[in-house]
Structure 1
């Protein structure tokens, strides 16, 4: 039955609701309200307890705002609620156990906040619950054993928290569970029997799981068990899994392992030696980082038709990258040295160092080479911003979390690849420079024109601020859909013309409609322009940029159509809540 408009208030129906605090909402004027959707309105302040007076409310969506404080326990009085979405705010404190008394609830989304404490055991009483998302918070404690009662649950996401203990056996027995993501936590113990049999998408990476992989495998399409302490043999049933990652465990290779791509399985990579499989074709040396000796060079030759130019997806300073599909069905990017470099020991050493770096760095935004996403030009604004964030976090990881720190020196759009879940990742470390405290870090000029910092034209000193400049160029290129060379040229003129922000955006996709997208675009362009400052010392660090992307809640100060590039150049950027 269609709900009357008078009983609904929803931004999806193009209501023009100005940003304000939710406490200004007159709840008593809408006693029959059944749907309240105020997503992406830049609402501030706390969630007022008076919202519980809307006793007929079935759908409540306050996501993607700036709401802070705790979740009111009075929300447990909204007995008719079917859907509750409070994700992507600044909420903190524990999750009220009263939410477990909303017996009609089918979808509960509290992700991307700062919630802490444990998951209420009362959630086991939500018998009609189909989707539960608590990811990206500070939740600790165990997964309630009462979850075994959620017989209608289809999707469970507890990832990126501090959840500990073992995975309850009952999780593997839930008959409708198809999507399970409990990665990036502190879970230990074995994988319960049944999880790999009932679910189609399973993400268990970055925990402390141990024991063997259950032998019974169902209709799995995605499985990530990487970065755990799993051991034993690998079930033959995993051959049919479309996406499979079992790296950084302690599996024992056996007769079944030979059918798996070597990129899927790494056996104690920090404790065993890796070998190169080398081949020469027409005088060129082609090297592949090889973990198990099962990838045949003849398969690579066949997949690329002897490195035909049709398979080439990029050419760098000393090598070309080819896209190929291996016999296993895995699509990979293969790097091959140029003729002149294959006989040069220094270039070969650089190539070896590149492979070593890509193998040893463990970060979700720094990956092995994958195929470039050919649909990147179709991405919406939200996904483009996520690409920029991924690139920033990868560079920040290299600068601050690698020992010694690394400067990439060739951050370009072609070296920013996309993984299958549209996260941006850095690869191609051929011109990477490892910074040493006892060296002057002098080096020959290297990098792609149009991306390298201008100071490298007159100085051989390499610093992390060179990466910052390149990041600024790539960010503008992602937003504009083309290299920003004309924009940079116009901005450098003494009497620069007035350039409007809306006029530089990629014209292939519509201008942003949601305020959140407008604010995000303004923020990333402001950051990009700050990265392009001619004085390296006045550029922000990648840590500053990462903090801005994570924490900045700067308001949309001007009407979006009236924002100029000059205003953004002079806009002060700041991060809130860095702690």
Structure 2
């Protein structure tokens, strides 16, 4: 029965309604009765106010006729309120960004024939697109159905809308070929089909017939073949987005005929050949991104002659030749990225003088000549990235006045001379990298005004003189590397105040004096390398109390005295005190085979590793034996205490079961559904017993629950503060809003969050069930041999696509915060899906628990130690660790690696023994070449500097290239058939 036909019954059974309320008011109230309104947004939809034109989201014209209803972002849920179609004059309806969770049937929209604007984006609508829409809504101008769960093919009838101007179907689960019949919509000005799982299809040449088209977005539509030259006839087109597909061939020169175009995005395809000429004709062009393709040849001069070009990105291609002189005539250019090409020659001398340049990245080319003096003359330069080229000459004096600069990376060039005095003290600069050049002179005291400086990288130059005392004022300093220079004098006492210091590398200089004492504030220091200097005196005992120090190299100095016993406290993966003047006995725990080469060249030392000195006299106590015996006794006592505690906990648990909620509490439970799923709260709660536990993690315990209809789901019961039951106090609207956001995420490589069962004292999350469990269990368990290399590569690609969706396609972007192999789940065919995304953030809003938001041991990016922030780059580091897991078959935390340093272990083994020695022995070495390529991607993702890590979009492209280059089909799913 249609809801509108039930309106008389609605009036009959609610006699208190004021009969002064008109028919349209009654229709609105009837629509409200079908919706859940947790925040009382519709509280003033009340018969007490007989004029519905005063109600929230309602717009009227004369005679109190409702013409528009806008309830976007109101947290409403329930079925589509078809009673709104009883409003005879309704032309505008928006329910965007809610939880409307029904299908969209033909009957639901019956009566809405006057609509010109329908926006149901960002909801939970399911099922096929209704084929009847064009005939039911003949006046429709704008149809917005983005980010729902619509599935199946786009109906052919959608080519029959008589007046449609805008159609957006982004981010659904649509299949079939790209709907070329939409070319029949002659009045269409905006067409957006991005991010659907269409079958591999070419761009329909017929789209060139849409002469009024202003926006064409086909990103992530599984496009193949060439870009049709016919698209150049779209003279009204302003925005063309064909990114993130598998397009091949060259960029057609006809695109230079898009006379109105403002933005062209072609990145992440397989386009090849030279870049076309004629772009100077594009007088409106402001943004051009053709990065991450296989373009070659030189950059045409007229690309830079497009008079309004602001943003040009052509990085990661194979472009060769020189940068045209015409670049200096770009008066609006603020973002230029040409890195990772094969460009040669020098930059125009006046480049930057006539444009508001903000971001310049020309890294990894073969450019030479001097850095143009006017790069910052526009007063907007923030990032200057010229690393790995052959630039020469001095650093321009003008850069010392570039107060907007935040990053300057100029390593591995041929630059020389003194660094301008004022350049050292730029107030917003946080990264200054000059390594691998021939700079000389001293580090200026002007550095004291560089208040934001976090990384000062000066290694492999000819800097001389003392380190200025002013460096101790840089409270944000994390890394100071100035190895292989000619620095002299003693370490400034003020450096003791650098509480955020994480890495200090000054090896191979001429530093003298004693080591700093009183460095207890260096609690974040992980690396200290002062080797090959002229330091003297003894080692301060407090160095042994630095909590995260794992790299200590003081070799090649003139240090003396005994080695402090406190150094035994450190968990060192690199330790070298060789070639000094130490004497006395080695601390017992340092007299181990792991450190057998750490004390060479100290003739006064003695111990079990060093024979011939310090002989033990008869009756002398053996301190090493005493320590070992004390440790053994302590261990026995500790084990006994653990056994007693386990017994007590087991007894208490049996006496105090808490797996199920009391019956009175069950009545207060609330189920919030994000997908179409038939279940009840009790159906879930009745299965939460220990027999159904399938996993336990940092955030909760997971149960396998079989529903009455035969479907299987996974239920996560979040830990409370004491891990005794459900999550307790502190989880209010912030948690529910965050989980609601996660419930709207739609991607084939993201585990579906079906629903959330909430209560003041309990949070249950109901997920899609993944029968093959987690990648971590599969890879490191007894069945790890099942995962042959083609399957592992497919898992890596699936997970990368899921993370790329979270980072690049969600608005705002979602940072996973705990990427690890145990959060990558496998379906019945070994397809991989990312789980627990954003959950740590949701929990953080209710309970400040850094152990939850920081990630998992072995996966945490190194910068977390000094920023305490998890970003997209942190996710990429963690994913790099997962790639290394897939290649090596090892768990990231192993005593063999030292203190949680799986990444450095992989690097060291490769350097010393070769790639073969890190590859999982269970893998077939016929895949060695592609394994090596994937290993390199993992090492790139785990670069210690966040800015060097690729984006997840780039990682996906690189993995796809590996699969393509080795004739692997990404659809491999069954490991037995791989």
Q: State TM-score, norm by structure 1.
A: 0.59
Specify which of 222, 226, 243 is matched with residue 431 of structure 2.
222
Per the alignment, residue 311 of structure 2 pairs with: 107
Partner of 1:252: 464
- Contact 2:166–2:191 (Cα < 8 Å) also in 1: no
* 1:212 matched residue in structure 2: 418
Return the alpha-carbon distance in structure 2 between the equivalents of residues 127 and 175 of structure 1. 13
The aligned residue for residue 170 of structure 1 is 374
User: Which residue of 2 is the match for residue 236 of structure 1?
Assistant: 445
| Deviation sequence 1:416-440 (CA, Å, 0-9, x none) | 45xxxxxxx66885x798579xxxx
1:23 is matched with which residue?
Answer: 227
3-state secondary structure, aligned to 2:261: coil
- Name the CA shift for 1:276/1:73 in 2 (closer, same or farther; >3 Å): farther
- Aligned runs of 1:326-475 on 2, under 5 Å? 340=588, 342-344=590-592, 347-349=595-597, 371=862, 373=864, 414-417=900-903, 429=908, 434=912
Distance 1:476 1:213 in 2: 35
**Distance 1:339-1:277 versus aligned 2 partners, 3 A rule:** farther
Give SS of 2:326's match: helix
Secondary structure of the residue aligned to 2:270 is coil
1:410 to partner: Cα distance: 6.6
Q: 1:74 Cα deviation (Å)?
A: 2.3
CA RMSD of aligned residues (A): 5.3
1:141 matched to 2:382: no
- Residue in structure 2 matching 1:290, options 526, 530, 540: 530
Question: How far 1:27 moved relative to its partner?
Answer: 1.1
Distance 1:469 1:520, change over 3 A: closer
Q: Distance in 2 between matches of 1:275 and 1:160?
A: 37
CA distance in 2, matches of 1:277, 1:223: 28
* Structure 1 gap ranges (5+): 281-285, 324-332, 354-369, 394-408, 418-424, 437-446, 456-463, 479-511, 524-547, 571-579
Contact 1:106 1:131 in 2 (8 A): yes
Contact 1:154–1:176, Cα closer than 8 Å, also in 2:
yes
Specify whether residues 257 and 67 from structure 1 end up closer, same or farther in structure 2 by C-alpha distance, changes over 3 A only.
farther
**1:557 equivalent in alignment to 2:969:** yes
SS of structure 2 residue aligned to 1:32: coil
Distance change >3 Å, CA 159–CA 37, structure 1 → 2? same
Given the alignment of the two structures, is residue 301 of structure 1 paired with residue 542 of structure 2, yes or no?
yes
Residues in 2 aligned to 1:211 and 1:391: alpha-carbon distance in whole angstroms: 45
Cα distance in 2 for residues equivalent to 1:40 and 1:412: 40
Distance 1:266 1:20, change over 3 A: same
Once the two structures are superposed, the pairs formed by residues 41-190 of structure 1 within 5 Å of their partners are: 41-190=245-394
- After superposition, the Cα gap between the structure-2 partners of 1:267 and 1:238, relative to the gap in structure 1 and judged at 3 Å, is farther
1:146 counterpart SS class: coil
The alpha carbon displacement at 1:124 in A equals: 1.1
Alpha-carbon separation, structure 1, partners of 2:224 and 2:930 = 37
**1:472 to 1:251, Cα distance in 2 relative to 1, 3 A:** closer
C-alpha distance in 2 between matches for 1:473 and 1:56 = 42
Deviation at residue 518 of structure 1 after TM alignment: 5.8
Q: For 1:149, what is the secondary structure of its paired residue?
A: coil
CA distance in 1, matches of 2:426, 2:327: 27
Q: Give the 3 Å change call, closer, same or farther, for CA 161–390 of structure 1 in structure 2.
A: farther
Q: What is the aligned counterpart of 1:264 among 465, 481, 486? A: 481
Helix, strand or coil: the match of 1:237? helix
Paired residues of 1:8 and 1:33 also in contact (CA < 8 A):
no
Distance (whole Å) between structure 1 residues aligned to residue 937 and residue 340 of structure 2 = 28
The one of 203, 208, 217 aligned to 2:409: 203
Instruction: Supply the distance in 2 between the matched residues of 1:10 and 1:297 (Cα, whole angstroms).
Output: 69
Q: 1:554 to 1:80 in 2, by over 3 A?
A: farther
Secondary structure class of the residue paired with 2:245 = coil
2:238 alignment counterpart: 34
**Residues 30-56 of structure 1: per-residue CA shift (max 9 Å, x gap):** 332111111110111111112222211
Q: Is the 8 A contact 1:319 1:335 kept in 2?
A: no
Q: Deviations over 1:92-119 (max 9, x none)?
A: 1000000121111110011111111111
Q: Distance in 1 between matches of 2:934 and 2:325?
A: 49
* Cα distance between partner residues in 2 of 1:265 and 1:90: 38
User: Between Structure 1 and Structure 2, whose CA radius of gyration is higher?
Assistant: 2
Report how far residue 229 of structure 1 moved: 0.3
Structure number with higher relative contact order (C-alpha < 8 Å, ≥ 6 residues apart): 1
Counterpart contact for 1:410–1:452, Cα < 8 Å? no
Q: Distance in 1 between matches of 2:870 and 2:538?
A: 31
Aligned to 1:360: none
Q: Secondary structure at the match of 1:139?
A: strand
Distance in 1 separating the partners of 2:242 and 2:339: 21
Q: Which secondary structure state, in structure 1, belongs to the residue aligned with residue 342 of structure 2?
A: coil
TM-score after normalising by structure 2: 0.37
Q: Is the 8 A contact 1:411 1:471 kept in 2?
A: no
Relative to structure 1, the CA distance from residue 566 to residue 112 in structure 2 (aligned partners, 3 Å threshold; closer, same or farther) is: farther
Q: Which runs of 5+ in 2 are unaligned?
A: 1-141, 143-164, 168-187, 197-217, 487-506, 518-525, 552-566, 578-585, 602-860, 888-894, 940-950
Aligned partners of 1:75 and 1:271: how far apart in 2?
A: 52
**TM-aligned CA deviation for residue 146 of structure 1:** 2.7
Deviations 1:65-104 (Å, cap 9, x if unpaired)? 1100000002332221110001111001000000121111
Matched pairs, number: 425
1:495-534 → structure 2 map (5 Å cutoff)? 520=958
Q: CA deviation at 1:471?
A: 8.0
C-alpha distance in structure 1 between counterparts of 2:320 and 2:286, whole Å: 24
Counterpart Cα distance in 1 of 2:395 and 2:587: 49
319 and 114 in structure 1: CA distance in 2 versus 1, 3 angstrom threshold:
farther
**Equivalents in 2 of 1:513, 1:342: separation in Å?**
42
Cα shift at 1:137: 0.6
- Asked if the contact 1:276/1:288 (under 8 Å) is kept, the reply is no
Cα distance in 1 between the residues matched to 2:457 and 2:350: 30
